[in-house]
């Protein structure tokens, strides 16, 4: 996956990320070289454009298709918007209408209702869920179910969310090793604890712990208090 959507100034300053939205020639070169160099499908993530005066979603989607890319993910905001205002889903629709390869819609996907609404409004082939997953990764399964059946799934209660976080932590240790997993898990645990009773206190404590056992035990002890709420 080629990232042409990152709006971070230090990335854009080097002409990378969303900075490539201002350089169609270089973007095409990258598309063609990557497709030529790998044997797996290639996709690209872009923003709707650099600003409101340079909307390039449909044009870049067509360029990507012509260069042999397998899919395009489009965030409905411009780079200059960063994460302000609303994502304009019409740009996603314009891109999907312009190409035959799958277009994945992104931007303001916070609920399973948002997911269904984007599919209905844009006709996009799929969704690219980003910030909506933070502290809420099960939203993907809820979205999928709602799109397919029209029936909402019940949300997890706080006790169940901690169980999920404990499983996530164990998998991170298995995948990345204890030290890195403990450090990386802090942000995920923090997002998960947001708006839970005493969640900020627990988050601060977890951020001082250094081993898997310490973090796991603290989450389990906190989980037990949720049974009393």
What Cα–Cα distance (Å) separates residue 192 from each residue in 107, 157, 219? 21, 11, 11
CB contact at 8 A, 43 and 69: yes
Whether 80 is catalytic: no
Choose, from 6, 67, 133, 192, the residue flagged as catalytic: 6
What is the enclosing helix (H) or strand (E) of 73? strand 71-75
Please give the Cα distance from 27 to 131 (Å, whole number).
Answer: 26
CB contact at 8 A, 217 and 169: no
CB contact at 8 A, 19 and 56: no
Please report, in angstroms and rounded to a whole number, the separation of the first and last CA atoms in the chain.
44
**Catalytic residue numbers, as ranges:** 6
């Amino acid at each position: 996956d080629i990232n042409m959507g990152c709006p971070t100034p230090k990335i854009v300053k080097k002409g990378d990320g969303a900075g490539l939205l201002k350089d169609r020639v270089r973007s095409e070169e990258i598309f063609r070289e990557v497709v030529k160099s790998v044997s797996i499908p290639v996709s690209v993530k872009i923003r709707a454009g650099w600003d409101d005066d340079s909307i390039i979603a449909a044009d870049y989607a067509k360029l990507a298709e012509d260069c042999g890319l397998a899919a395009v993910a489009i965030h409905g905001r411009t780079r200059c918007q960063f994460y302000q205002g609303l994502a304009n889903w019409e740009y996603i629709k314009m891109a999907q209408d312009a190409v035959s390869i799958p277009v994945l819609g992104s931007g303001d996907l916070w609920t399973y209702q948002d997911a269904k609404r984007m599919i209905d409004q844009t006709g996009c082939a799929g969704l690219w869920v980003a910030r909506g997953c933070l502290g809420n990764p099960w939203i993907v399964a809820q979205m999928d179910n709602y799109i397919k059946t029209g029936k909402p799934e019940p949300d997890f209660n706080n006790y169940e969310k901690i169980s999920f976080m404990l499983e996530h932590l164990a998998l991170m240790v298995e995948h990345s090793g204890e030290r890195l997993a403990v450090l990386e898990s802090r942000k995920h645990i923090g997002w998960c604890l947001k708006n839970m009773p005493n969640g900020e206190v627990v988050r601060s404590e977890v951020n001082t712990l250094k081993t898997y056992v310490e973090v796991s035990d603290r989450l389990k002890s906190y989980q037990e208090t949720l049974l009393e709420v």
